[in-house]
């Protein structure tokens, strides 16, 4: 690390202004201040504004999320960041009367039976009483209690694992639609160790996925703690949380907290170059597409893996990054007048298996699930389109996509009302797919990066979790690693 006068001085470039990049910048700034170091932070993003996929639209009294709409409360990094930013009072829980989820089967909506964990029954009586799975499917699922626990060594596909333990019907009618909103992926290709390692652990430890999941649930309840001190008590017990004015509250607070950081928005990074080894200059030069060069002692790359691969390819093997595929999706938000709408919702929404033949993969009854999102005399729906092997509908022209969604909500819920307005958001190549062996491949990639590009870190949804808490955690970890790296340089 170079020195300017008496103070240690670090130049750090963060590529990507989404939640991963903003979190890493925030925790870098905080740690540098704690250590009495001077850090020059520059955030670069090809988009004209910060936030990445997080985009909240305020329209006519509605709070509309164009990207993610919430986060898991049991994963604490988002809550901890809210506390660090002083915005914990802005957190809000989902409506307690809008928690029941439904799954479509044969054109009808069936409530998810109590205790069903991604298709794994932990309340056997409730599972047996449900009409969601056939009698044959139920008996096949319960066969897991008798099958030997013969988990293969290493990783395997999530779909292969679940089919082996609880049968193909559960996978087709329950698990696949449940995961459509998280990964939009093909379960036969998704890594179990990168998505739900607790399932593999349940089989290894208990010889049965069902028995193991029941035990994990018991341990989880016994160890369950309230949310961190400082978080409003009424949020305890809610599986999902958001912010009263939308998730952009988090982005805006980070933007404000990073007042001293430089921004280069609307311009892409074209290269990361090594500089000549000299004590008085930075290790790297980050080259922008407009020709500008940013000196950097350390670089955090948070872009999608295919862009990250292009930046790292001149220095190392990036096959692991190029093996990560993405799925394109869209979400279609519709607002309605409550008067004359003709449908009352008693839950959070429903999921749609591929076999049902609809274009939508899920529908959230947003105004019921999140009371802050809609005026009391209006209704807000959010429908999801696109998944692995079926991405075409997400790219339909606006009017065609709108009509396709209207047809699907008429078929599924009998809705005939015309929307007050429709907001369509397309997210091309936005959902990373973790292939079998992903974690091992990423570990080897990081070892290569440490050797070939010391002080350069790649993080984000393509690496260790797609949710907001996972990305924030990675940002904080990268900040700690950068501080160690520049101190050792």
Residues 6+ apart with CB under 8 A from 270: 287, 288, 289
Q: Which CATH number characterizes residue 135's domain?
A: 1.10.3110.10
Residues 440 and 420 in one domain: no
The reply to whether 170 falls in a domain is yes
Residues 124 and 216 in one domain: yes
Residues 276 and 187 in one domain: no
Indicate the residue among 176, 203, 223 that finishes a domain.
223
The reply to whether 130 falls in a domain is yes
Residues 352 and 481 in one domain: no
Indicate the residue among 389, 405, 433 that finishes a domain.
433
CA-nearest of 107, 133, 370, 113 to 241 is: 370
Residues 390 and 367 in one domain: yes
Q: Which CATH number characterizes residue 419's domain?
A: 3.90.660.20
Residues 283 and 304 in one domain: yes
pLDDT on residue 118:
82
The reply to whether 84 falls in a domain is no
Tokens representing residue 35 in the block: 């250590």
Range(s) of the domain holding residue 180: 113-223
Residues 43 and 122 in one domain: no
The reply to whether 73 falls in a domain is no
Q: Which CATH number characterizes residue 282's domain?
A: 3.50.50.60
**How many CA atoms lie within 13 Å of 316's alpha carbon, on the beta-carbon side?**
23
CA-nearest of 374, 347, 342, 376 to 363 is: 347
The reply to whether 93 falls in a domain is no
Residues 216 and 275 in one domain: no
- From first to last of its 489 residues, the chain has per-residue pLDDT tens of 454 443 468 999 999 999 999 999 999 999 999 988 899 999 999 999 999 999 999 999 999 999 999 999 989 999 999 999 999 999 999 998 878 999 999 999 999 999 988 889 999 999 999 999 999 999 999 999 999 887 778 899 999 999 999 999 999 999 889 887 788 889 999 999 999 999 999 999 999 999 999 998 887 665 556 788 889 988 988 889 999 999 999 999 999 999 999 999 999 999 999 997 655 678 999 999 999 999 999 999 999 999 999 999 999 999 999 999 999 999 999 999 999 898 988 899 999 999 999 999 999 999 999 999 999 999 999 999 999 999 999 999 999 999 999 999 999 999 999 999 999 999 999 999 999 999 999 999 999 999 999 999 999 999 999 999 999 999 999 999 999 877 665
CA–centroid distance for 91 within its chain: 18
pLDDT on residue 484:
86
The reply to whether 161 falls in a domain is yes
Residues 293 and 416 in one domain: no
pLDDT on residue 91:
97
Residues 20 and 159 in one domain: no
pLDDT on residue 4:
42
Indicate the residue among 433, 453, 471 that finishes a domain.
433
Residues 379 and 428 in one domain: yes
The reply to whether 81 falls in a domain is no
Residues 418 and 452 in one domain: no
pLDDT on residue 222:
56
Residues 6+ apart with CB under 8 A from 86: 253
The reply to whether 376 falls in a domain is yes
CA–centroid distance for 193 within its chain: 16
pLDDT on residue 99:
82
Residues 37/10, Cβ–Cβ less than 8 Å: yes
Number of domains in the chain: 3
């Amino acid at each position: 690390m170079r020195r300017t006068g008496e103070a240690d001085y670090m130049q750090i470039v963060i590529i990507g202004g989404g939640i991963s990049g903003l979190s890493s910048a925030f925790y870098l700034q905080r740690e540098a201040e704690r250590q009495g170091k001077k850090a020059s932070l520059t955030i670069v993003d090809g988009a004209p504004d910060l936030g990445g996929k997080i985009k909240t639209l305020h329209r006519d009294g509605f709070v509309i999320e164009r990207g993610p709409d919430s986060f898991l409360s049991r994963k604490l990094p988002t809550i901890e960041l809210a506390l660090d930013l002083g915005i914990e009072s802005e957190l809000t829980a989902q409506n307690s009367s809008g928690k029941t989820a439904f799954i479509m089967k044969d054109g009808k909506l069936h409530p998810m039976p109590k205790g069903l964990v991604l298709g794994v029954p932990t309340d056997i009586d409730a599972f047996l009483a449900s009409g969601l799975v056939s009698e044959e499917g139920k008996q096949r699922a319960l066969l897991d209690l008798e099958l030997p626990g013969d988990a293969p060594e290493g990783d395997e596909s999530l779909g292969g694992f679940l089919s082996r333990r609880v049968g193909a019907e559960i996978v087709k009618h329950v698990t696949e639609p449940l995961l459509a909103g998280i990964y939009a992926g093909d379960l036969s290709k998704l890594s179990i160790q990168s998505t739900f390692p607790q399932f593999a652990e349940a089989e290894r430890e208990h010889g049965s996925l069902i028995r193991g999941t029941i035990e994990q649930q018991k341990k989880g309840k016994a160890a369950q703690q309230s949310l961190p001190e400082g978080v409003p008590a009424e949020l305890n017990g809610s599986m999902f949380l958001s912010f009263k004015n939308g998730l952009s509250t988090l982005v805006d607070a980070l933007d404000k907290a990073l007042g001293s950081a430089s921004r280069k928005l609307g311009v892409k990074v074209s290269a990361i170059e090594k500089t000549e080894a000299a004590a008085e200059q930075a290790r790297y030069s980050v080259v922008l597409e407009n020709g500008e060069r940013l000196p950097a002692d350390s670089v955090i790359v948070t872009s999608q893996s295919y862009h990250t691969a292009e930046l790292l390819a001149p220095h190392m093997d990036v096959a692991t990054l190029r093996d990560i595929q993405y799925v394109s999706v869209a979400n279609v938000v519709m607002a309605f007048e409550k008067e004359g709408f003709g449908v009352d919702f008693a839950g959070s929404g429903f999921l749609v298996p591929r076999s049902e033949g609809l274009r939508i993969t899920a529908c959230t009854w947003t105004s019921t699930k999140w009371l802050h999102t809609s005026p009391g005399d209006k209704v807000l729906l959010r429908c999801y389109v696109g998944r692995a092997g079926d991405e075409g509908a997400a790219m339909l022209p606006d009017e065609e996509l709108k009509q396709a969604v209207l047809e699907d909500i008429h078929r599924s819920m009998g809705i005939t009302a015309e929307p007050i307005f429709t907001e369509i958001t397309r997210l091309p190549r936005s959902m990373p797919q973790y292939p079998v062996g992903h974690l091992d491949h990423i570990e080897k990639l990081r070892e290569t990066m440490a050797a070939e590009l010391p002080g350069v870190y790649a993080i984000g949804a393509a690496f260790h979790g797609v949710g907001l808490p996972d990305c924030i955690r990675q940002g904080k970890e990268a900040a700690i690693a950068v501080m160690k790296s520049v101190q050792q340089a």
